[in-house]
Amino acid sequence: MTRYAMVIDLNTCVGCNACMAACAMENQTPVWKNKWRTYVHEKEIGTTEQVRRRFFPRLCNHCDNPPCLTVCPTGATYKRADGIVMVDPERCMGCRACAMACPYDARYEVTYDDIRTGKEFYGELQRQSPSMDKCSFCAHRLDKGLKPACVETCVGSARMFGDLDNPSDPVTQLVASGVAQPLMPHLGTRPNVYYIDDMKRKG
């Protein structure tokens, strides 16, 4: 059985935003209104000479216990056997309950206007219906044996992707070692995106 997970090393993310660009091209996200499936959050931490800029890549955490799936009234949000949380745009009525439920701010809306703009922006648009949208771990690429677009393009190798059910996978070993930690585990969402903290080294 496969159980996909991502580890993001905050020590090696340089904030180049190549992951955002690769994801936007791959998944045709509405970048014209600054909405992305993955987003590199920038924050200045510290004061005076101690100040530094931190880059924090964000995306859907593909939780094992996803609150966005529970609240979805139409069944548009569903989970694949490999753990990827998906959205069926045809089935999504766009009530936005998933966006309210997500503790990771991973959901955004795609409207009729976005579809019209998207056709001009991308030429040919894959989606036909408006819906809530989010990262799919590039499931269509995984099914072809490829890695997610953001992982493949990351210049600092900050993003690692693997199978938690494979003990020899480096991602599994990082997670098992405790170096890579999920975000807000106390919420009980059981995320499958893990972060290697940079604060201990730089802070």
Partner 1 sequence: MDTMTYTTQNIWTWWIALYLFFGGLGAATLTITFLTDMYCRPHRKLVLWGALSGVVLLAISSAVLFGHLLHHAAVIYVLNPLVFIFKPDSWIAWGTQFILWMMVWGMLYALPYMRETPFFQRIPLVRGMLQWPLVAWLSDCCMKRRRIVGWLAAINGIGTAVYTGLLIQSFPAVALWHNPGVPLLFTVSAFSTAFAYLLLLLNLFITDENDDDLRHRYERMDLILISTELVILFSFFNYTLSGSESGYRSAQLLWGDWGWLIGFIGFGLLVPFLLELKGVIKGWGSRLPTVAAAVLVLMGGYLLRHYFMYAGVYAYPW
Contact flag: residue 14 with partner 1 (CB under 8 A): no
CB 4 within 8 A of CB 62: yes
> Residues touching partner 1: how many (CB under 8 A)?
49
Q: Build a one-symbol-per-residue string for 162-181: x at contacts with partner 1 by CB under 8 A, - elsewhere.
A: -------------------x
Question: Nearer to partner 1 by C-beta: 89 or 163?
Answer: 89
Integer CA distances (angstroms), 6 to 3, 52, 111, 122, in order: 10, 26, 29, 28
Of 130-159, binders to partner 1 (CB under 8 A) are 130-132
SS3 content of the chain, % helix, strand, coil (to 5): 30, 20, 50
d(CA 155, CA 83) in angstroms, rounded, equals 26
Binding segment (CB under 8 A) for partner 1, from list 101-109, 138-146, 154-162, 167-175: 101-109
Contact flag: residue 185 with partner 1 (CB under 8 A): no
CA nearest 197: which of 187, 185, 182, 186?
Answer: 182
Question: Nearer to partner 1 by C-beta: 27 or 61?
Answer: 61
CA nearest 8: which of 202, 185, 183, 187?
Answer: 183
Contact flag: residue 15 with partner 1 (CB under 8 A): no
Contact flag: residue 75 with partner 1 (CB under 8 A): yes
User: Residue type for 79, please?
Assistant: K
Residues near partner 1 (CB under 8 A) are 10, 41, 43, 45, 54, 56, 58, 67, 70-76, 89-97, 99-105, 109-112, 129-132, 181, 183-184, 187-189, 195, 197, 199, 203
